[in-house]
Structure 1
Amino acid sequence: MQKLEAFIGRIVDSVGVGLAVLLVLMVLNVSYDVMMRYIFQASSVGMQEMEWHLFSLIILFGTGVALRHEGHVRVDFIYDRMSPKKKAVINIGGTVFMLLPLALLIFFGSFEYVNDAWVTNEISEDPGGLPYRWIIKSMIPLSMAFLILSAVGYILKNIMLYREAK
């Protein structure tokens, strides 16, 4: 169980490094776009769309990374006063009964949405916008699969914490 959790953790951390690179690229993209718009009075729809594409990737895949590193939202002033064993039970229960059902719902519910974009070869509606809109839309089920993988690692980690707690 420990080896599986460590393996999942390495995958999640690797994606986190990739997201850090995407964040730098997004900052450079936004900086370029702002400079072009306000200094040179020129703007690119494609560059603006790339901003939200990169932002989408960071948010969608960042949820799994945040889960691994306990960066998700919870009521800390209550949670912090609990024993490690109770914290592990809450983490396992919340993941199994709240996170996983929602992630599975989005995962399976997004297939038709992505398929429609792929079948129609959806592109940007704006002139000069990016083609292949189905690529960014396909990140929805992919990111939910990643979140589910991260959740499995989180559950395993908390099972081990539960067993070690007194």
Structure 2
Amino acid sequence: MPVLTNILKQIDRLSEWSGQIGKWAALLLVLVGTYETVSRQFFNAPTIWAYDTLCMAGGVTYLLGASYAYLHNAHTRVDLIYSHLSPRGQAITDVVCALLFFFPLMGVMFYMAVSWAIRAWMIDEVMFNSFWYPPSGPYRTVFALGLLLLVLQATAKFIRDIHFVLRGERLD
């Protein structure tokens, strides 16, 4: 068990690290948005790069923050029944829902994200929402990485839930 516990803690550290990077992308989002607004409204000088930068920074914030939010149980949940269950009942519900819904959906999304990232690098794809045309490979790679980190964190939680259901004790 010490090896497994160590692996789970390493996954948790990755999610913490991912959340820290995500918060800096959120700061970039605010700074670029502010710059674009002031530039456009007060100086009548809009940029060609702000829109794509805002989209990419928002996506990075969301994607790298997903595993962090999962680690801290901060995702939105419809909690009509779940909160009334015992801790073991909650763990069983989490295991069943992960197997039926989360892992199949994330498997498809991760497969598609990796495919899109590889394709973007192979064809030198660019984003065409503005006249800036930044390369899309880096963003698509971060997208796939964010999904990978989310799946890793979900796997860590899944293992902890299985352990709790079977043994009745929390696995740190």
Question: TM-score, length-normalised on structure 2?
Answer: 0.85
Query: Which residues of structure 1 form unaligned runs of 5+?
Result: none
Tell me, in whole angstroms, the C-alpha distance in 2 between the residues paired with 1:66 and 1:12: 8
- In the other structure, the counterpart of 1:147 is 150
Cα gap change, 1:126 to 1:144, in 2 (>3 Å): closer
Retained in 1: the 8 A contact 2:106–2:147? yes
Q: 1:113 aligns with which of 92, 116, 126?
A: 116
CA distances 1:136-156 after superposition (whole Å, capped 9, x unpaired): 122232222111111111112
Q: 1:52 aligns with which of 55, 59, 66?
A: 55
Matches within 5 A, 1:20-99: 20-99=23-102
Tell me, in whole angstroms, the C-alpha distance in 2 between the residues paired with 1:117 and 1:100: 25
Query: Which protein has greater RCO, CA pairs closer than 8 Å, 6+ apart?
Result: 1
Identity %: 22
Q: Give how far 1:160 is off.
A: 4.1
Helix, strand or coil at the partner of 1:45: coil
- In the other structure, the counterpart of 1:18 is 21
Helix, strand or coil at the partner of 1:39: helix
Counterpart residue identity of residue 89, structure 1: I
Tell me, in whole angstroms, the C-alpha distance in 2 between the residues paired with 1:24 and 1:131: 20
RMSD: 1.9
Q: Which runs of 4+ in 1 moved over 6 A?
A: none
Query: Which residues of structure 2 form unaligned runs of 5+?
Result: none
Question: TM-score, length-normalised on structure 1?
Answer: 0.88
CA distances 1:101-122 after superposition (whole Å, capped 9, x unpaired): 1111111123332233222212
**Alignment length, in residue pairs?**
165
